[in-house]
Structure 1
């Protein structure tokens, strides 16, 4: 239980609703920011504007999956209020206050460093990323079906990267009957691709391996699908980029060539927000409970 723990949930999309429900079940005290247009209320949660929150009473801050942008602004799907997380806000919280975010960036890293607060990036955790790969894969299949005029079965698919998402994507598209090749750099990843009965190739050879690809799925968060690579792709190819913004694709050149390229970094929140929210909520509440137990253990 999270009784007596005061948590600020600031911004977010439909996934955060599952987080709020779980926190309420565990008897936490919740301050909501960025939810003023939400149709239904939550018993046990109070809506505030950001300037109304008494941060000196906040034990934990929960940010959306995307965290904050480079100016500190937080996405607020359920509000027109422009919400910013500022240093003076975080600095006024108790020293033990922990910030939870899906991902981070230079601004958020600077904020927690300057205020000496702890930051936990949920999507850096293997459990969250692996669970989250399930709705990601389903969303990728949905996009592939919607934006092609051929079946996945029998198509030539290239998956770039064999991380937690890349592995799930490659395995599932192969199970659907696609001819899957996977590009990676690490020798252990190339060995794992072979063990999975898929075709491995080193990313240094990407331009040579892309000439017969129908669907290219990128999971690498830096530009690998350069203009040179895209110039070798068939004009009917579909690029689905699952990497975090700005993705790993030269979208300008893809458009110039007439190749459909889509940046889709938040598929779980689009295709299965309830499941994606439950994944985040379950892990988050475990972490909050552990944090509360540690704090109580340190009390005289």
Structure 2
């Protein structure tokens, strides 16, 4: 049996598994690639790696390459007693599951180095989608970004490089001040709908519904709305389509646009977490 088991994930997790396999055996479930699947579960695995994000709906492990759903409870079928579960994020359910079965949960996304790299790669992928998904040019376009966390900051910088006029709508006064010091226009998030009405591009980075259906009714026909946050429900899709606004679901961009770089960063984070 391999030394470490990968469960679920996209192309970046394949790249991470390939790198880790250079120093030990690797098996995989619901990942694809050239990795063998577990044959004997009697002893279990002492190390299991879950993807980034580990789940999108809170119930199943993220596994776009799998032919079947992989419920979170599946990891207990493969885990040895006291196994370490390296996860790309965490939740109350996952923490409770690990505690109940005596498993050690390690959130490798807690590493700031990986979080920053993932944010930058997400921003790069977002720009690629905006270029291909918007009928106009980024140059001289107007964009509204909700929130000003890591992803929003990198995205704003990239859009500025295209001479796009960027406005940040953020709830936090500290985030608005940071955006202002970065040379951006800012608004309280309560005014995001007003700004979106005149924008060519609207990008949400906040895991919440910021714009209302009424806000979408005032948006420009042909504008683009991009959802970068990980959310289980997105009513904005229907609102956008009803108004003639192009909706772009932009989850998992590092795995789609830069899997090698993202996978290498994940592998380093897992190895670092293992030895910490």
Mapped partners of 2:163, 2:252: distance in 1: 26
Q: 1:129 is matched with which residue: 115, 130, 135?
A: 115
Contact 1:75/1:83, CA 8 A, preserved across alignment: yes
- Within 5 Å, give how 1:267-286 maps onto structure 2: 267-286=253-272
**Does residue 26 of structure 2 align to residue 30 of structure 1?**
yes
Q: 1:80 is matched with which residue: 67, 74, 78?
A: 67
> In the alignment, which residue of structure 2 is the partner of 1:181?
167
Q: CA deviation at 1:248?
A: 5.9
Contact 1:224/1:248, CA 8 A, preserved across alignment: no
> In the alignment, which residue of structure 2 is the partner of 1:297?
none
Cα distance, 1:53–1:32 mapped onto 2, change above 3 Å: farther
Higher relative contact order (CA 8 A, sep 6+): 2
- Within 5 Å, give how 1:137-216 maps onto structure 2: 137-216=123-202
| Range that drifts further, 7-16 or 68-77 | 68-77
Mapped partners of 1:182, 1:88: distance in 2: 40
**Does residue 12 of structure 2 align to residue 15 of structure 1?**
yes
Q: CA deviation at 1:87?
A: 7.1
**Does residue 116 of structure 2 align to residue 119 of structure 1?**
no
Cα distance, 1:91–1:284 mapped onto 2, change above 3 Å: closer
SS of the residue aligned with 2:80? coil
SS of the residue aligned with 2:169? strand
Taking only aligned residues, the RMSD between alpha carbons, in angstroms, comes to 2.5
SS of the residue aligned with 1:93? strand
Cα distance, 1:204–1:83 mapped onto 2, change above 3 Å: closer
Q: CA deviation at 1:251?
A: 1.4
Between the two proteins, the alignment pairs up a number of residues equal to 275
> In the alignment, which residue of structure 2 is the partner of 1:298?
none
TM-score using structure 2 length: 0.89
